[in-house]
Amino acid sequence: MHLKIHILLICFFALQVFAQETNEKKSLDSLASRISTTVGSKKLAAILQFCEESANSSARQVLEFTSEGLLLAEELNDFKAKAELLRYRGSSALILGEMDDSIDFFKQSIVLSESAKDSINLAEGYNSLGRYFFILGNFEASRDNYRLSLNISEKISNPKLIYEVKANIASSYLGQGKYNKALELLEEALALCRQKELYCAGAILNKGIAINNIGKPSEALELFFEARKTFFEKGEFSAVALTEHHIGYLLERAELYEEAIHYFNLVKEFYEKSENINRLSAIYANIGELMLELNRPDEAENYFNKSLDYKKETGIKTVGDPLHGLGLVALKREKYDLAFNYFQDAQRAFAAIDDEAYEDEIYYAFSSSYFGMKDFENAEKYALKSVMVNKNSGLKRELALSYENLVRVYEEQEKYDLALQAKKELEAINVDLNSTKEIFAITKQLVVETLRKNEEENKQDLSVDREVLTSNTNYFWIWLVLILLLLGGGIIYLKKKHYNSKLKNRSTVEYLQKDEAKVLFETLKDVIKNEKPYLNQELTLSGLAELINTSDKKLSALLNHSLSSSFYDYMNHFRVEAVKEKLRLEGYEKYSLVGIAYTCGFNSKSSFYRAFKKETGISPREYKIKHAS
């Protein structure tokens, strides 16, 4: 469960960044114009304003303007401006994956801010350095810098910074599953957010996640619905889907399986329309698990197979869940050999991503498979392992199931003394469980009441938005039919033009090969070597063409015909090499593989794993182990 929540949280962080990026570009052109037409302090002010408003967008342009701004700040002896510009340079370098430059810029900014006694810039500098370590997955170093920023922000009574930094610290705790610590900070951040009438939906969702994981599901559900409604009003439908995913998890834990399936289906519909295969694979597995709880193995098998197919198609390594689910389906059908094979595959898949949360379920599954195959010695071995893991985890319901399994294994082997001892342990656990059953029933009823109340209150507003989504999809299909009709009507014309078009395209390629390809390739190599554009996650064919002073068409011809590569394959080659280089360097062993991949220009885990395997023939984890040895 914790792994599922952590993955969703990361997705939500990505959505927040995307929302920032897409809402900050309106006045940049006019500011760029002001920069080019002013001089002195006015020019410096325009550069600082451009950097502030561009934020996560236009990273390359920020680097260009800050270079000019630093010279101006030096001439004007404006050390505060210089510190601010260095911080903006660090943030832009971070976006572009230039990690060494990024940390250098942040540290220079901090030193200058201290010298200039500029508390705001100093607090911002430490906050930026905290984000740097957060991206690399070094949460302790991240929080150390966040706390330095928070101390300064509180001394100067800057509410905006206090809110932002507390939310950042809370996010780091939430990502690690430290819910009480996260909740304490989120409460403080939300109080400040509401007092200043800021946009709080993300913090509300995160508070709901924390509260749900400390055993207050009805309160968490209220927060999820509050966040969901706000996301709807803002038109942030991806965030709506993530919130509904969390609602589904909450209802699943409350054993409201039919209701959970309803919300998972809402999420599934959204991801199907948006063709988000990564998230679809996860939601299919979730629905499969619930179908098993409802004793509907055929439907469960269908969903697990869909999940597995999508994961294999996209190169996602987290195939353990659907494999484990298929094993449970086989177990229910008493196909024990098949079940055992699925569980073995699932165990290998979980081990490949260092996921230890699977141990209890896999040990219990192995024990059940061996029991069905009449291999009672191994059934006992894994039943004992299952008991031990659940004792250590403190999960009493799971521990009771493990003991029930152990009792039947002992009895089948006529080990009656051991069976009696296990029964006594089971009785003691059941006493504790019976005392909590009434509390669970009350909690479940509260969840049901909260669910019904919120669904009734939000039904009309949310149905309108769902209609908008559906109608947009319907319009898409109408336009698609019209386009196909137009294409059909013009097919004769296209056939007539095909031969001439083919000749024209071929002559363009031949011309490039003979007269320009060599020069263009040398220019491309120089840019790749010196500017490392592949570190930019947002790099496009047009962007690279601009860097080497050519057209999209000529660059595409060079890559496709001269180098026999696509744009993305060519860039991913250098990104993979950058990852391999960092894996060989000291100091990077404490960072996650995905964290390193993001710094090297990849923008998703699946594209990173797929590209790495294509380039090297082995997975990143296998490469890391091989290099370490």
Q: What is the 3-state secondary structure (H, E, C) of 537-591?
A: CCCCHHHHHHHCCCCHHHHHHHHHHHCCCCHHHHHHHHHHHHHHHHHHCCCCCCC
At 197, list the tokens.
């009438």
In sequence order, which residues have a C-beta less than 8 Å from that of residue 570 and are 6 or more positions away? Answer: 559, 563
- Give the model's confidence band at 493: pLDDT under 50 very low, under 70 low, under 90 confident, else very high: very low
Q: Give the mean model confidence (pLDDT) for residues 442-468.
A: 67
Answer CATH for 508-628 from 3.40.50.2000, 3.30.930.10, 1.10.10.60, 3.30.450.40: 1.10.10.60
Residues 17, 19, 25, 27: is their CA dihedral positive or negative?
Answer: negative
Which of 264-268, 313-317, 480-484, 502-506 bottoms out in mean pLDDT, i.e. has the lowest?
A: 502-506
Q: Give the mean model confidence (pLDDT) for residues 583-593.
A: 76
- Per-residue pLDDT at 442: 73
pTM of this prediction? 0.55
pLDDT for residue 411 is more than 90: yes
- Per-residue pLDDT at 155: 93
Q: Give the mean model confidence (pLDDT) for residues 218-238.
A: 87
Q: Give the mean model confidence (pLDDT) for residues 343-366.
A: 76
Residue boundaries of the structural domains of the chain:
508-628
Output 148 or 567, whichever has higher pLDDT. 148
DSSP output for 129-154 = HHHHHHHTT-HHHHHHHHHHHHHHHH
Output 60 or 407, whichever has higher pLDDT. 407
pLDDT for residue 489 is more than 60: no
The alpha helices in 176-213, defined as continuous H runs, are 179-195, 201-212
- Per-residue pLDDT at 2: 44
CA distance 314 to 279: 11
- Per-residue pLDDT at 357: 53
- Per-residue pLDDT at 28: 63
Residue-averaged pLDDT of the chain: 78
- Per-residue pLDDT at 629: 54
At 334, list the tokens.
């008493």
CA distance 43 to 35: 5
Output 126 or 239, whichever has higher pLDDT. 126
Rg over alpha carbons for the chain, rounded to the nearest Å, is 29
For 233, 433, 529, 599, the CA distances from 251, given in Å and listed in that order, are 24, 20, 53, 37
pLDDT for residue 148 is more than 70: yes
Q: Residue 351: which of 621, 590, 137, 593 has the closest Cα?
A: 621
Which of 398-402, 564-568, 614-618 bottoms out in mean pLDDT, i.e. has the lowest?
A: 564-568
Residues above pLDDT 70, as percent of the chain: 78
CA distance 139 to 143: 6
- Cα-Cα-Cα-Cα torsion 595, 597, 598, 602, nearest 10 degrees, comes to -150
- 3-state percent helix, strand, coil for the chain, nearest multiple of 5: 85, 0, 15
Which 8-state DSSP code applies to residue 57? S
Q: Residue 295: which of 241, 324, 258, 267 has the closest Cα?
A: 258
- Per-residue pLDDT at 436: 64
pLDDT for residue 328 is more than 80: yes
CA distance 618 to 629: 15
CA distance 597 to 585: 14
Residue 404: count of CB within 10 angstroms of its CB: 16
pLDDT for residue 611 is more than 50: yes
- Give the model's confidence band at 55: pLDDT under 50 very low, under 70 low, under 90 confident, else very high: low
Terminal-residue alpha carbon distance, the chain: 33
Q: Residue 340: which of 369, 363, 315, 320 has the closest Cα?
A: 369
Q: Which long-range contacts (CB under 8 A, 24 or more apart) does 143-149 make?
A: 143/169, 143/172, 146/172, 149/123, 149/124, 149/125
- Give the model's confidence band at 23: pLDDT under 50 very low, under 70 low, under 90 confident, else very high: very low
Residues recorded for the chain:
629
Q: Give the mean model confidence (pLDDT) for residues 101-126.
A: 90
At 344, list the tokens.
């073995």
In sequence order, which residues have a C-beta less than 8 Å from that of residue 340 and are 6 or more positions away? Answer: 327, 366, 369, 370, 373
CA distance 561 to 69: 42
